[in-house]
């Protein structure tokens, strides 16, 4: 409750989004989408040349149940790729293949290849610990550790031994919090528990925690679904900034969000990848009728 009143009054955070941008949030998505995709049109095709992640024939089984069927996706570097689709379509499952988080689920089995810079992440040589340092993840519900704000951000650098000393660590924490546009709000209370922040601030704290280890890819699993529209707008803005430096993959239920933040979009349905393409094309001229039906709200 409290953060609704806190965030707008925040004096020093990054500039708030323009009113036009909010209007398209829920009501009429289409004109809004046109606006955004037109603005990013130049980016839309450019990054596809440098592929960061390539998935080939991914099948995932949870026990006897198959969750993904022969999924092939190409994810470009330094851009935002959105996965959309109805609940249970396998988009989060696929996301968890990229940093091998499915390993932590008992009974989960993954077949196929996920190439990160041409290296198969499922290769026996690859240690999931180092993989996850390269591929960070942000979850649906903000999950700060029950530690201070500082310790939350310092967690990754500490376990991976990234900081040479205390000063170095403080520098990393400050830089990460600034990148996550949270620094101004928390710089005076770094020793207070991270769980005491508002929902939107917690999610930015978790993003700061993820970027503190300087990952190459950041996976975001519905990062705004637990947040109110204002906090969502701030996260989206942040995602837009972060794509200058990171390869970002975002799973979202909101097609408007996918249209706003992403350059490429993949549509999943019933465990299969239906269609992938530039966001502009997917939302204006989808090739598959199922994509058409989904983005126009006929199902899902």
SS3 244: coil
Q: Which of 92, 99, 181, 257 binds other proteins (CB under 8 A)?
A: 99
Q: Which of 11, 49, 118, 146 binds other proteins (CB under 8 A)?
A: 146
| Residue 40 contacts other proteins per CB under 8 A | no
| Residue 159 contacts other proteins per CB under 8 A | yes
* CA gap 34, 215 in Å, rounded: 32
| Residue 147 contacts other proteins per CB under 8 A | yes
Positive or negative: CA dihedral 144, 245, 74, 56: negative
Count of positions on this chain that bind other proteins (CB under 8 A): 28
Percent helix, strand, coil in the chain, to 5, is 45, 25, 35
| Residue 94 contacts other proteins per CB under 8 A | no
H-state helical runs in the chain: 2-9, 19-23, 29-39, 41-45, 91-98, 128-134, 149-159, 166-179, 183-186, 199-211, 229-242, 255-261, 279-284, 289-295
Q: Which of 71, 80, 131, 186 binds other proteins (CB under 8 A)?
A: 131
Residues forming a β-bridge with 75 = 53
* CA gap 208, 174 in Å, rounded: 9
- Nearest distance, CB of residue 59 and other proteins, angstroms: 22
Kindly list the distances between the CA atom of residue 95 and the CA atoms of 24, 73, 151, 221, in Å, as whole numbers in the listed order. 27, 11, 27, 8
Looking at 3-11, 26-34, 136-144, 249-257, which segment touches other proteins (CB under 8 A)? 136-144
- Nearest distance, CB of residue 213 and other proteins, angstroms: 7
Q: Which of 101, 217, 235, 242 binds other proteins (CB under 8 A)?
A: 101
| Residue 156 contacts other proteins per CB under 8 A | yes
Opening angle at CA 108, ends 86 and 132, nearest 5: 85
| Residue 209 contacts other proteins per CB under 8 A | yes
| Residue 125 contacts other proteins per CB under 8 A | no
Binding residues for other proteins (CB under 8 A): 99, 101, 104, 106, 128-133, 136-137, 139, 141, 143-147, 155-156, 159-160, 195, 206, 209-210, 213
């Amino acid at each position: 409750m409290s953060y609704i009143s806190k965030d707008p009054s925040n004096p020093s955070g990054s500039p708030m989004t323009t009113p036009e941008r909010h209007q398209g949030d829920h009501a009429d998505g289409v004109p809004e989408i046109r606006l955004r995709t037109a603005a990013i049109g130049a980016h839309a095709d450019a990054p596809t040349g440098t592929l960061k992640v390539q998935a080939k024939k991914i099948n995932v089984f949870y026990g006897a149940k198959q969750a993904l069927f022969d999924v092939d996706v190409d994810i470009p570097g330094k851009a935002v790729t959105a996965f959309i689709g109805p609940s249970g379509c396998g988009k989060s499952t696929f996301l968890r293949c990229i940093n091998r988080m499915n390993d932590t689920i008992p009974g989960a089995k993954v077949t196929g290849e996920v190439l990160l810079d041409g290296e198969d992440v499922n290769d026996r040589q690859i240690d999931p610990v180092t993989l996850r340092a390269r591929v960070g993840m942000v979850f649906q519900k903000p999950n700060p550790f029950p530690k201070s704000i500082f310790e939350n951000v310092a967690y990754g650098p500490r376990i991976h031994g990234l900081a040479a000393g205390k000063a170095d660590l403080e520098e990393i924490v400050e830089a990460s919090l600034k990148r996550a546009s949270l620094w101004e709000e928390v710089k005076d209370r770094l020793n207070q528990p991270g769980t005491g922040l508002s929902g939107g601030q917690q999610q930015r704290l978790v993003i700061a925690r993820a970027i503190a280890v300087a990952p190459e890819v950041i996976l975001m699993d519905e990062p705004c679904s637990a947040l109110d529209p204002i906090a969502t707008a701030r996260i989206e803005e942040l995602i837009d900034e972060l794509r200058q430096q990171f390869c970002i993959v975002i799973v979202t239920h909101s097609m408007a969000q996918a249209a706003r933040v992403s350059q490429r979009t993949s549509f999943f349905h019933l465990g299969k990848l239906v269609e992938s393409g530039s966001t502009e094309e997917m939302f204006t001229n989808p090739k598959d009728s199922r994509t058409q039906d989904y983005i126009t709200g006929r199902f899902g």
